[in-house]
Structure 1
Amino acid sequence: MKVLVSGGTGLVGRYIVEELLSAGYQVIVGARHAPLPRFFSRPVDFTPLSLDPDENDIGAFDDAYFFVHAAFSHVAGKYRGGEGDDPKAFRRLNLDGTVKLFEEAKRAGTRRCIFISSRAAYGEHAPGTELFETTSSIPETLYGQVKLDAERALAHLCGPGFAGASLRATGIYGDHAPNKWDGLIDFYLTGQPVSPRAGTEVHGRDLGRAVRLMLETESTRISGETFNVSDIAVDTRDILSPIRQHVDCPFPLPEAADKTDLCAMNTRKIVALGWKPGGMPLFAQTMRHLAETKSTLRPSSTQV
């Protein structure tokens, strides 16, 4: 079956595309520009796709049995605060444009739509609060509000013949280049002090597996639903420790951050469907890979 993935060449979308390809799906990447040759491990199709709500993109769904919406327009490197100095355009593209794509998918006969949302939809809660899908959602950022409103729009469109689900993902890490932690690692390797900071993370591969689960589970179990997708809690010390071990780096690690105040997302709902994230073993494997990559790229301190 063919799956249309919007934003398939992005940092998040690439993991989703690769997971679907490995499972034998035919993938159509919807984006502004076609991927470069051999960008993915296997061949993909391409169709132009726009977040502009005034554009007609219904033709992109002609061959798509499923639709995964991962595209998002934002200032480079930012999601929260990604509106920059133009919140009106940010909302127009990421909410109005997203709803347009949901509606076009339904009209075209696409059977399922999976929306990549964010934990930002919950907003701020008291430190240490465990976040369930039923926890109140009061976003304090435009990013979170746009994600929440898009979730609700998709749920409203769901019905016979059109199943939709939203995945509230936490921070997404992985081993593709560029990597979300490249800046942090490079900053540390230049000797700059790094502040202790903790966060919740999920590997992009595990997010891809969550998407697959939404496509392969009986529609009545997922349609109109929201699912938390999160795995581990790590801090800057956890991230940089394997880098320091593999790279000739004399700089001290940051102090361990307090993780008890994190608001972890409860994932029992999606685990009950069969989702099994990689946990700390996958994190350790990924960090070894990143450390080895940095080690080969970084000249030894003994070289002149």
Structure 2
Amino acid sequence: MRVLLTGATGFVGRAVLGRLAASNDLEPVAAIRGHALPDCPQNVTTVRTAGLHADTDWSEALDQVAVVIHGAARVHVMNDTESDPLEAFRKVNVEGTLKLARQAASLGVRRFIFISSIKVNGEGTPVNEPYVADAPPAPADPYGVSKMEAEQGLRDIAVQTGMEVVIIRPTLVYGPGVKANFLNMMRWLDKGIPLPFGAIHNRRSLVALDNLVDLIVTCIRHPAAANQTFLVSDGEDLSTTQLLRRMGQALGKPARLLPVPSVLLERSAQLLGKRALSQRLCGSLQVDITKTRELLDWTPPVSVDNALRSTATYFLNKERQR
């Protein structure tokens, strides 16, 4: 089965491509732009495209493809410099995605797997009141709005053409090679820096890279995945305090956490203009993956602690090479 992957150079995309290449009965095609893929497996076909735009011609990349895994996107950024961020997101995440999907349907693609975002559901939940896959969406920023609009357009295309659409909304993804705040957290812990996060009682759902990739690959063939929306996590929710302690254990550097009340952290962050960071550190965001488990008979194959260990091992090896 020939499978087209977009976003193959990204954090998730590289892992998906490796899993596709390791399969005996899949023929992976990676849509790229610019330079060649580093360390690309020999059995992967690469096709250069003009990027994810409303006028991109995908016909070469889609030749004889049965399934598309669409991971390319204009990603969420903390300090967007665009004068109209929503319009910038729409051009890529909505118009570009729907052009790809329409052309895929016209060329006989059977299934289109869209890697969306939990931001379609919203930015946070009360403790123990998780998001569910089929609840009304409530995106709060331009990125989340663009992903919601892309989902809506894909569902319309599915109805019009008969191409099956599968939507996956990951929570925060971590694993070997993770960047941004998760990487900073590991660096703080590795250096033994005291952190004021010893008394945070929130709950957050995370998803290990291997677990997300396993679900994506499951959705290539599973008949019950057709025209469904799935949330995905590790199935175990952690507070920020718990995450730091268990990450410290994985690093072999016990976390030095000071029990500063979360209300003080939130107020301080607001005064410093870091409300979004405060929400991620102190607020809750939980997802209920019951539908994913039951409809697909799927269980996250990797435990949180094993995923943290593999993330820590990769990090320590890279830090030693710096």
Pairwise CA distance, 1:190: 3.9
In the alignment, structure 1 residue 271 sits paired with structure 2 residue 293 = yes
| Pairing partner for 1:85 from 82, 85, 108 | 82
Query: How big is each residue's C-alpha offset from its partner over 1:146-165, in whole Å with a ceiling of 9 and x where there is no partner?
Result: 11111111111114651111
In 2 relative to 1, CA 45–189 (structure 1 residues): closer, same or farther, beyond 3 Å? same
1:68–1:114: 8 Å Cα contact kept in structure 2?
yes
Pairwise CA distance, 1:143: 1.1
Aligned positions of 1:255-294 closer than 5 A: 262-272=284-294, 273-278=296-301, 282-294=303-315
Query: How big is each residue's C-alpha offset from its partner over 1:92-116, in whole Å with a ceiling of 9 and x where there is no partner?
Result: 1121111111111111211110000
Pairwise CA distance, 1:209: 1.8
Query: How big is each residue's C-alpha offset from its partner over 1:263-290, in whole Å with a ceiling of 9 and x where there is no partner?
Result: 42111212121211035xx321232233
How far apart are the structure 2 equivalents of 1:173 and 1:54? 33
In 2 relative to 1, CA 143–37 (structure 1 residues): closer, same or farther, beyond 3 Å? closer
In the alignment, structure 1 residue 199 sits paired with structure 2 residue 212 = no
Pairwise CA distance, 1:254: 5.5
Aligned positions of 1:93-242 closer than 5 A: 93-124=92-123, 126-128=125-127, 129-159=129-159, 161-175=162-176, 177-179=177-179, 181-196=182-197, 199-218=204-223, 221-231=224-234, 232-241=236-245
Aligned residues: 289
How far apart are the structure 2 equivalents of 1:233 and 1:286? 14
Pairwise CA distance, 1:206: 1.6
One-letter amino acid of the counterpart of residue 150, structure 1: A
How far apart are the structure 2 equivalents of 1:133 and 1:251? 34
Relative to total residues, which structure has the larger helix share, 1 or 2?
A: 2
How far apart are the structure 2 equivalents of 1:230 and 1:246? 20
SS at match of 1:62: coil
Q: Name the % identity.
A: 25
How far apart are the structure 2 equivalents of 1:34 and 1:257? 48
In 2 relative to 1, CA 243–12 (structure 1 residues): closer, same or farther, beyond 3 Å? same
User: Structure 2: which 5+ runs fail to align?
Assistant: 263-280
Pairwise CA distance, 1:31: 2.2
2:52–2:97: 8 Å Cα contact kept in structure 1?
yes
CA-atom RMSD, angstroms? Answer: 3.0
In 2 relative to 1, CA 246–59 (structure 1 residues): closer, same or farther, beyond 3 Å? closer
How far apart are the structure 2 equivalents of 1:257 and 1:215? 45
Pairwise CA distance, 1:227: 1.1
How far apart are the structure 2 equivalents of 1:17 and 1:255? 42
Aligned positions of 1:10-25 closer than 5 A: 10-24=10-24, 25=26
Aligned residue for 1:54?
55
Pairwise CA distance, 1:245: 4.5
One-letter amino acid of the counterpart of residue 23, structure 2: A
In 2 relative to 1, CA 255–101 (structure 1 residues): closer, same or farther, beyond 3 Å? farther
Aligned residue for 1:302?
none
Pairwise CA distance, 1:244: 4.1
How far apart are the structure 2 equivalents of 1:284 and 1:248? 13
SS at match of 1:60: coil
In 2 relative to 1, CA 122–293 (structure 1 residues): closer, same or farther, beyond 3 Å? closer
How far apart are the structure 1 equivalents of 2:230 and 2:260? 30
How far apart are the structure 1 equivalents of 2:10 and 2:48? 14
How far apart are the structure 2 equivalents of 1:35 and 1:91? 27
How far apart are the structure 2 equivalents of 1:298 and 1:222? 40
In 2 relative to 1, CA 59–237 (structure 1 residues): closer, same or farther, beyond 3 Å? same
How far apart are the structure 2 equivalents of 1:208 and 1:257? 36
2:124–2:283: 8 Å Cα contact kept in structure 1?
no
Tell which deviates more after alignment, 99-108 or 28-37.
28-37
Pairwise CA distance, 1:189: 3.2
Pairwise CA distance, 1:293: 4.2
